[in-house]
Amino acid sequence: MKLKKIPIEKISLKHYNLRFNTQKERLQSLEESIKNHGLLVPLIISEKGQMYELVSGHRRLEVLKKLGYKEVPVIIIDDLPPDDFVIKSIVENVERVDLTPVERGFAYAELYRKFKIPIREIAKKVSRSKTEVSLFVRVVEGLDTRVREAFHKGEISYSHARELLRIKDKKEQLRLFRKIIDEDWTIERTAVEVNLALPQEKLKEKEKKLNIIELKVMKKLGKRYGKDVHFKQGKKKERMMIDYEDEIRLKELMTEILQVLE
């Protein structure tokens, strides 16, 4: 390993094959830092004949090119196999805080499928839990492309995406996704609808009836009071919650409930 300066045009991205969306604010912040203080952390590269291949520092390289740098400080590490280049590049990228869940999922899936790295080892490399890494891989592999793209853009939440992952049929998944968007389903409503869309033969008769009742209650109360109705399932108990605008509306709701009970 050695530190030196080299011409910037000699740095290749040949094996740096994963690309991520970088937030403008972060690039601007990095650009300001390099303008004011210079490059504090050298690029990490490996020597390949007359050229060099980038191992770590893609964003820094982008900014340095934009600022017109002709030479850049680098750390040259010993020769690495191509797979090691990609693995190091992926790990560096997923440690960035500005990646979306879908971008993380693609990175983890690349490590898991292409390089045969076990989920538990990936979790160690990126300092994440095994459960989280596994879930992100499922997000990119188990969601319909259009659903995944909507999740990537923030059109549906992480919790909505997690519920849709329970549906294996991509057409049914897409149908429910469109309902989430068109009818502005809450996460609780989505969970109930997913329960109803799952193969019913696997559910007990009591569970089937409860799912149908929950959906009817959500629709009728929501329509009547113009607010969301939520069901929270715990280990031993289930709670029903109704949103209300203010104290007056709460009193009206309580009055109507008392009238029904009397």
Looking at the DSSP bridge assignments, the partners of residue 74 are: 4, 43
What are the CB-based long-range contacts (under 8 Å, 24+) for 87-90? 87/111, 87/115, 87/117, 88/44, 88/55, 88/56, 89/15, 89/16, 89/17, 89/18, 89/54, 89/55, 89/56, 89/58, 90/18
What is the pTM (predicted TM-score) of this model? 0.54
Helix residue spans in 110-236 (DSSP H): 119-126, 130-142, 145-153, 158-164, 170-183, 187-197, 205-225
Which pLDDT value is given to residue 237?
64
- Cβ-based burial of 134 (10 A; exposed 0-12, middle 13-18, buried ≥19): middle
Q: Which helix (H) or strand (E) holds 85?
A: helix 82-94
Could you give phi then psi for residue 122, rounded to 5 degrees? -60, -45
Per-residue pLDDT of the chain (262 residues; tens, 9 = 90+): 567 889 999 988 755 445 455 555 567 777 888 888 888 778 878 877 788 888 777 778 888 999 999 999 888 876 555 566 567 767 766 765 567 788 788 888 878 887 788 999 999 988 889 998 998 888 888 999 899 889 988 899 989 999 999 899 999 999 999 999 998 888 888 888 888 888 766 555 655 555 666 666 666 666 665 556 665 655 566 666 666 667 777 777 777 767 766 6
Q: Which of 17, 14, 18, 25 is nearest to 97 (CA)?
A: 25
- Domain residue ranges in the chain: 1-80
What residue type is 136 in one-letter code? F
CATH of region 1-80, choose from 1.10.1740.10, 3.30.930.10, 3.90.1530.10, 3.40.718.10: 3.90.1530.10
In this predicted structure, what is the pLDDT of residue 250?
Answer: 72
pLDDT given for residue 29 in this prediction? 76
- Position 59 scores a pLDDT of 78
Determine the Cα angle at 123 with ends 121 and 129, to 5°: 140
Rounded distance between C-alpha atoms, residue 100 and residue 153, angstroms: 9
